[in-house]
Structure 1
Amino acid sequence: MATQTAVPHHTTLDDAQGLALGVFLSSLGVHVLAHLGLVTGQTAGLAVLFAYATGLSFGAAFFLVNLPFYVIAYRRLGASFTIKSITCVTSLSIIVEMLPQIFPLGPIHPAMGAVTFGALTGLGLLAVFRHNGSLGGVGVLALLAQDHWGLKAGYVQLATDAAIFAIAWLIFPTSIIVWSLLGAVVLNLVILLNHRRDRYIAI
């Protein structure tokens, strides 16, 4: 008779270091994105558009855009997830504001910048996801749409990204959109190929 292996649980220290690493890597990725003036999808993409429309910095816009999603996250995914997400979003907003002063960047080819953004932010999101946190609210909204209207969460997120890039195409030069799409593809491939519940079972 096969014995069932107990699923290991993350300790508080595990979560703290995993979330901190995820936020740090994602902040570096967003720093490159902002330095090159590129755009992306999800909540970060909404923040880029909001910052462009209002003149706010990305960090401030990212923090404000996420505020409405916390109520949804609390009701849908619980207090622990919501607290971790608030902490991660707030930390990323602060770090992104600081990085231009403490880690200034020089000329970067847009292709290299886009790939760097996608890889760093994708790895950062993986770390955050694996410790039951998030860096944005569009995913939560997608889960809500799936629960209430039967829409697949993945399709909701794709539709949101398509809308963000369509709006961005009306505002930014075509070259910016092309390089931005490259970064979004790299980011999503990192998540798609590595975020596997069947291969990573700690909770």
Structure 2
Amino acid sequence: MKMTNTIKSSDKHSLLEDVQGLAFGVFACSLGMVFLTQLGFLTGQTAGLALLITYLTGYDFGTVFFLVNIPFYWFTYHRMGMRFTIKSVICVVGMSGMMKFVSPAIGFEHLDPLVGMLAFGAMVGAGLLAIIRHEGSLGGAGAMAVTIQEFTGFRAGYVQQLLDFVIFATALFFFPWQTVAWSVFGSIVLNSIIAINHRRDRYIGR
């Protein structure tokens, strides 16, 4: 069963508005990821899995992020429809490319972990809200969270937080607990923004 025409943005937004909204979302998420990677911390979902692989292998994040998301597109297509899937693929490819451009362009002599993780959570949270509002996602975990919210009403931000804890539990085997603790803090900031602001009664058709 495909869930099409469920997100009201598909009826309200023009092509130009979708392009602008998705581009802003991808750029904001890319900026947030720069703060995260500068600190050497982690995040959850498919981006967190890609980061974990990147840190352990040294492979480029953008490439790993793209590859990690490939298996989830079947689920996205069958549960959310072709429109959502195409936009999600565009966003994933866009972020993979944007990270190659943004990361070398920004550097910090000093970055306090508290400020860095607040910036990460705020920027990625705002970016993901924009992407979701324009009927897209940044990977399979986000699509799964939105799907669960549409079927059950259990908010996508809370679903993502539960998925994130799985990534962080795995990370404890490879990283110091302080790194994981800061990562959990950033994840809570990010997912609380989505949980509070992405509301079924506002954006999801009845």
What is the TM-score of this pair, normalised by structure 2?
Answer: 0.84
Decide which of 168, 173, 177 is 1:170's aligned counterpart: 173
Q: Which residue of 1 aligns with 2:116?
A: 113
CA root-mean-square deviation: 2.8
Amino acid at match of 1:135: L
Amino acid at match of 2:167: I
Q: Which residue of 1 aligns with 2:3?
A: none
The secondary structure found in structure 1 opposite 2:127 is helix
Q: Which residue of 2 aligns with 1:57?
A: 60
Deviations 1:110-166 (A, max 9, x none): 11111100000000000000000001111334577899xx9x786764443222101
Q: Which residue of 2 aligns with 1:92?
A: 95
Given that 1:139 and 1:153 are in contact with CA atoms closer than 8 Å, whether structure 2 keeps it comes out as: no
1:119-134 aligned at under 5 Å gives the runs 119-134=122-137
The secondary structure found in structure 2 opposite 1:198 is helix
Q: Matched residues in 2 for 1:193 and 1:146: separation?
A: 13
Q: Which residue of 2 aligns with 1:69?
A: 72
Runs of 4+ residues over 6 Å off in structure 1: 143-147
Question: What's the % identity of the aligned pairs?
Answer: 48
User: Which segments of 5 or more consecutive residues in structure 1 lack a partner in the other structure?
Assistant: 1-5
- Please say which structure displays the higher CA radius of gyration: 1
The secondary structure found in structure 2 opposite 1:38 is coil
Given that 1:84 and 1:133 are in contact with CA atoms closer than 8 Å, whether structure 2 keeps it comes out as: yes
How many residue pairs match? The answer is 195
Does residue 104 in structure 1 map to residue 104 in structure 2?
no
User: Which segments of 5 or more consecutive residues in structure 2 lack a partner in the other structure?
Assistant: 1-7
Tell me: CA distance 1:26–1:145, structure 2 relative to 1, closer, same or farther (3 Å).
Answer: closer
Q: Matched residues in 1 for 2:200 and 2:41: separation?
A: 31
The secondary structure found in structure 1 opposite 2:172 is helix
What is the TM-score of this pair, normalised by structure 1?
Answer: 0.85
